[in-house]
Structure 1
Amino acid sequence: MLIVAVLFCVLAGVFHHYGLSDLITNFHHLQDVIRQSGMFGYTLYILLFIVAALCLIPGSILVIVGGVLFGPVAGTLISLVAATVASALSFLLARWLGRDLLLKYVGHTATFQAIEKGIAHNGVDFLILTRLVPLFPYNIQNYAYGLTAIPFWSFTVISALTTLPGIFIYTLMSHELASEGITLVFIGKLSVAGLALFTLVQAAKAWARYKHIDPSANHECTGK
């Protein structure tokens, strides 16, 4: 809890000056702030990623900015570290605050009930599926899984591995677009990347059918 408190204190001044939502959602503004931060820009980028996840703000724009600023390799590594730490902190925060307290706020939601039933019936297989297939909002999953019985390290390692393909493709494509602009080569690479993601999602769905995992059934049950 001390780490989280210090994190918010460090960023409070930055967010007060620039505005949290504007800083994270304004692409060009975000680029300028990180560039002007020098070596601290790497740290600032990771901290912004973490706070965005904790506040349930999608981190996709940050991944794109990472590709533009840091390149495909460094951008992928930095974004992966940031996303993994953010997921882990959200997960631990849910556990630290306590199941009883958080259940008062999220226990009635269809997302949490579906995840809890999925973990109870299928264990880490369900986690792998929901990380690869966008069934539920990603950042909400972080908190929801913290309220289940899944081990912390299983959650963290699986989240990192399943997040890597998407982060790499987003980072690579954003870097290519910023460097070369919209060209036939870029369109070709984008098509290949889209096909790769589509294939990965379909493979995950096929694997879920093989393992007899039916998240839609869980979701429908919770909606009744």
Structure 2
Amino acid sequence: MKKIIIFILLLLLVIFMAYQFGLVGFLTDISGLRAYLEGLGWWGYVIFILLSVVVAVFLLPGQFLAIVGGLAYGGFLGGLLTIIGASLGASISFIIGKYVAREYILTRFGSDPTFQKIERGVKENGISFLVFTRLVPVFPFAIQSYAYAMTPMSVKKFSLISFLTMMPASFIYAFMASEIASKGVSMTLLIELTIAGILLALLAYLPKRISKKINQLNSEYKKD
């Protein structure tokens, strides 16, 4: 109970401070955030990663961070920083949900349709469901980490799969932003984005296909 109260107070404090001191506005001001990060040199990398962690843990609106990373640091480095920050944030959120604020989250969100669908999806499809929801934004990204913390999934498994599955989108968004900033919108870019979208769709389809194949093999093995 003590951990829950501390977590709630900390969450409310951070959200209040974020709005009070303009952090939310700062995160959504892409041009201003880009200029700020560029002027910090190496410290900008650290701050960018920390911003990604804060956004993930406290459910702040940080959907533009990958784009800002691409604008400020280019496609490769921006994508790399994005995936590092997003993975750390997701893992920390998962740990908080699993070990610190589990009872509060169950009480507050246990009846939420998103939580129930994720719990049912993991129960019926296992790891392939996590892979699918990370590759395809079926559910709000920020809330997924807390929802998966309510399942029997381990921290190690969740962190590794989250890192691998969030990597394609992180690099695609950063690359897209970098290309548009340097070259503008072109037919070549549109073709590249189309190919990237097809690859993401295929990546999202594979886990389900593999899971079905494994289930079929298991059924045949049991019959024999």
Which TM-score tier does this pair reach, normalised by the shorter chain? 0.7 to 0.9
Q: What is the deviation of 1:125?
A: 2.4
Query: Paired residue for 1:219?
Result: none
For residue 143 of structure 2, what is the aligned residue in structure 1?
140
1:201 maps to: 204
SS at match of 1:165: helix
Counterpart residue number, 2:106: 103
Note if contact 2:57-2:89 (Cα within 8 Å) is conserved in structure 1: yes
Taking a change above 3 Å as real, the CA distance of residues 96 and 132 of structure 1, as seen in their structure-2 partners, is same
Structure 2 gap ranges (5+): 216-224
1:139-162 deviation per Cα after TM superposition (whole angstroms, max 9, x unaligned): 101011112210100000000111
AA aligned to 1:169 is I
Q: What letter corresponds to residue 83 of structure 2 in structure 1? A: L
Residue 37 (structure 2) aligns with: 34
Counterpart CA distance in 1 for 2:110 and 2:82 is: 30
What percent of counterpart residues are identical? 35
1:172 aligned to 2:175?
A: yes
1:114-143 per-position Cα deviation (integer Å, ceiling 9, x unaligned): 222222333322222222222211110101
Shift of 1:68: 1.4
Counterpart-to-counterpart distance in 1, 2:32 and 2:21: 9
User: Would the aligned equivalents of 1:56 and 1:139 in 2 still touch at CA under 8 Å?
Assistant: yes
* 1:67 alignment counterpart: 70
* Count of residues in correspondence between the two structures: 205
- Residue 206 of structure 1 and its aligned partner are, at CA, apart by 4.4
Q: CA deviation at 1:209?
A: 5.7
Matching residue's letter, 2:50 = L
How far is 1:50 from its partner? 1.0
1:155-194 counterparts in 2 under 5 A? 155-194=158-197
Per the alignment, residue 127 of structure 1 pairs with: 130
Aligned to 2:54: 51
One-letter code of the match for 2:46?
T
Q: CA deviation at 1:17?
A: 8.7
Distance 1:54 1:108, change over 3 A: same
Whole-angstrom distance in 2 between the partners of 1:109 and 1:193: 33
Q: What TM-score comes out, normalization by structure 1 length?
A: 0.80
Contact 1:75 1:171 in 2 (8 A): yes
Q: Evaluate the alpha carbon distance shift between residue 95 and residue 202 of structure 1 in structure 2; reply closer, same or farther with a 3 A threshold.
A: closer
What's the offset of the Cα at 1:174?
Answer: 1.0
Length-normalised TM-score, structure 2? 0.80
Q: Is the 8 A contact 1:94 1:102 kept in 2?
A: yes
Q: Distance in 1 between matches of 2:144 and 2:179?
A: 30
Per-residue deviation, 1:199: 3.1
CA 1:196/1:122 → structure 2, altered by over 3 Å: closer, same or farther? closer
What amino acid does structure 1 have at the position aligned with 2:109?
V
Shift of 1:112: 1.0
Q: 1:97 to 1:198 in 2, by over 3 A?
A: same
Q: Structure 1: 5+ residue runs without aligned partners?
A: 213-224
Structure 2: how far apart are the matches of 1:58 and 1:119?
26
Runs of 4+ in 1 over 4 A off after TM superposition: 14-18, 204-212
Describe the SS at the equivalent of 1:162.
Answer: helix
Q: Which amino acid aligns with 2:175?
A: L
Deviation at 1:15, TM superposition (A): 5.3
